[in-house]
């Protein structure tokens, strides 16, 4: 059984980052709501981490975990709220800070006799993010680390392998945070640190063979990283019993359908290409509302996919490229549904008429891990390094109604921009790039003639997960050339602008 660290989530914005840091240390971990601790426990758990929280332990309705069978029996690390909860629960005092303790701080006292702080330097920088502070520790708690302003910044409970820290080791601002987590995982939890992309492939393929047997599976490919890696994993496990369906909704990038389909076949995947562009664009005629467009595109995809799936005899399973953040975000820290799920996002659910069992071979991986697993299986970097592309495709990059002529213009402009990034070695510096066709026209002059044509906006952002993003400072010379090429080579466009909005307050896509 694969050893793991269990992370109990109290709703912190940093919880997923704890998971990523643990996995970077080659240890498998899972994130579960704090009130699901007992259900998540099994013999493979080697240690437990309590996350931070937007809540205060002083609140009447503060989250209260059940640590039966954990506390005193397994190594336990409380981070921020987790540390404050441990202290208050045992009779200590947690009070509101006179000033909010947020941002960079430095350790002033480090007791390196304790395994958690082995190798941690005096004056090591740490990141604080809390409004409460532990004023007084219970009698059986020992201070092992302090900052100039926070006396009880780190502690250990006597006669237990239970530790607490009021700072966040998972954020990069804590310069030796990774070393501290490594101490916890290696020295305290005694983890082997042998969870690698290669080991994931081996264990997952074996598990899929056992789970699926000789059953037939259908998978919808999008051309993106997640579905591609899922397809290759399943192909390794069940070969021709997997049928992949790649639907062209008429809203893909220029030549993408033909290029990606050829790549898939070259990888040995059993794939069916379906050209359904006329149906999608026809059904979108006259629709300008973004949510309306998303619903039509999602509905049409299901209909086309279902029609093709029914042509395959004896299909039992539907495979999906669901990844771990999708799973985590579908359940809040209190175990309820997430507040918002986009209408085109079908993770975790199928229409009632698709009576298939679901298999999700990547639902335990973060995005960067999916790419590493893909590389371990020999998938080309040109597929693994592709920028994210919205499920509704160019349908939500054409503001207003969608027509074939608008799709043509946008595909041509987008190809000039994206290919330009690649040719100038800028593509890998950008997390996501694309062009938006705006619902306005502007006056221009070409030669001696007045023009009144469309406007496009270039969009390029840097991000790690899409939750926040900043616009990329592309070279002016590059932007000038792209603008000139688009205006001269794409009939119908006479003006190009560059979007310099960050997320938040803006979003990455315009619709």
Q: Which DSSP symbol is given to 403? A: -
Q: Of 114, 100, 107, whose CA–CA distance to 175 is shortest?
A: 107
d(CA 486, CA 417): 8
Tokens 């037939």 map to which residue?
A: 216
* Structure tokens given for 495: 């003006």
Residues 6+ apart with CB under 8 A from 211: 359
Residues 6+ apart with CB under 8 A from 85: 50, 57, 62, 63, 64, 65, 78
Active site (catalytic) residues: 80, 168, 170
d(CA 63, CA 79): 14
Do 23 and 1 contact (CB within 8 A), yes or no?
no
3-class SS of residue 38: helix
d(CA 224, CA 371): 11
Alpha-helix residue ranges (DSSP H) falling in 213-283: 225-238, 256-266, 277-283
| Residue 296 C-beta-side C-alpha neighbours within 13 Å | 23
Do 398 and 455 contact (CB within 8 A), yes or no?
no
């Amino acid at each position: 059984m694969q050893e793991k660290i269990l992370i109990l989530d109290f709703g912190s914005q940093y919880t997923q980052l704890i998971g990523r840091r643990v996995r970077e240390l080659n240890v498998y971990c899972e994130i579960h709501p704090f009130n699901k601790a007992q259900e998540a426990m099994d013999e493979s758990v080697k240690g437990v981490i309590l996350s931070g929280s937007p809540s205060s332990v002083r609140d009447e309705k503060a989250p209260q975990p059940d640590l039966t069978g954990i506390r005193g029996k397994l190594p336990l690390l409380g981070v921020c709220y987790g540390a404050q909860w441990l202290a208050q629960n045992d009779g200590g005092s947690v009070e509101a800070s006179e000033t909010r303790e947020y941002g960079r701080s430095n350790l002033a006292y480090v007791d390196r006799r304790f395994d958690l702080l082995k190798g941690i330097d005096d004056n090591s920088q740490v990141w604080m993010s809390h409004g409460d502070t532990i004023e007084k520790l219970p009698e059986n708690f020992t201070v092992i680390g302090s900052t100039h302003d926070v006396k009880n910044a780190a502690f250990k409970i006597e006669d237990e392998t239970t530790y607490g820290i009021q700072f966040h080791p998972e954020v990069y601002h804590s310069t030796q945070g990774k070393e501290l987590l490594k101490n916890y995982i290696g020295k305290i939890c005694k983890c082997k640190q042998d969870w690698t992309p290669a080991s994931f492939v081996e264990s997952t393929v074996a598990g899929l063979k056992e789970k699926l047997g000789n059953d037939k599976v259908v998978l919808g490919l999008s051309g993106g990283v997640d579905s591609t890696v899922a397809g290759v994993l399943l192909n390794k496990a069940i070969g021709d019993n997997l049928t992949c369906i790649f639907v062209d909704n008429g809203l893909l990038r220029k030549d993408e359908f033909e290029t990606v389909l050829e790549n898939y076949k070259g990888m040995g995947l059993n794939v069916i290409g379906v050209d359904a562009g006329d149906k999608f664009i026809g059904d979108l005629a006259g629709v300008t509302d973004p949510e309306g467009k998303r619903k039509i595109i999602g509905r049409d995809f299901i209909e086309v996919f279902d029609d093709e799936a029914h042509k395959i005899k004896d299909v039992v399973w539907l495979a999906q490229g669901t990844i771990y953040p999708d799973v985590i975000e579908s359940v809040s820290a209190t175990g309820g549904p997430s507040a918002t799920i986009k209408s085109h996002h079908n993770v975790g659910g199928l229409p009632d008429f698709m009576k298939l069992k679901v298999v999700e071979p990547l639902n335990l991986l973060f995005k960067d891990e999916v790419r590493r697993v893909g590389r371990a299986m020999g998938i080309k970097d040109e597929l693994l390094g592709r920028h994210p592309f919205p499920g509704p495709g160019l349908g939500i990059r054409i503001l207003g109604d969608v027509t074939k002529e608008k799709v043509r213009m946008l595909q041509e402009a987008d190809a000039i921009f994206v290919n330009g990034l690649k040719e100038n070695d800028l593509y890998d510096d950008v997390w996501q790039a694309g062009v938006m066709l705006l619902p306005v026209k502007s006056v221009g002059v070409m030669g001696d003639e007045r023009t009144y044509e469309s406007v496009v906006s270039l969009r390029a952002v840097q991000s790690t997960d899409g939750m926040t993003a900043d616009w990329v400072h592309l070279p002016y010379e590059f932007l000038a050339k792209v603008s000139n090429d688009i205006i001269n080579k794409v009939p119908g466009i006479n003006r190009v602008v560059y979007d310099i909005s960050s997320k938040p307050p803006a979003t990455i896509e315009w619709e």
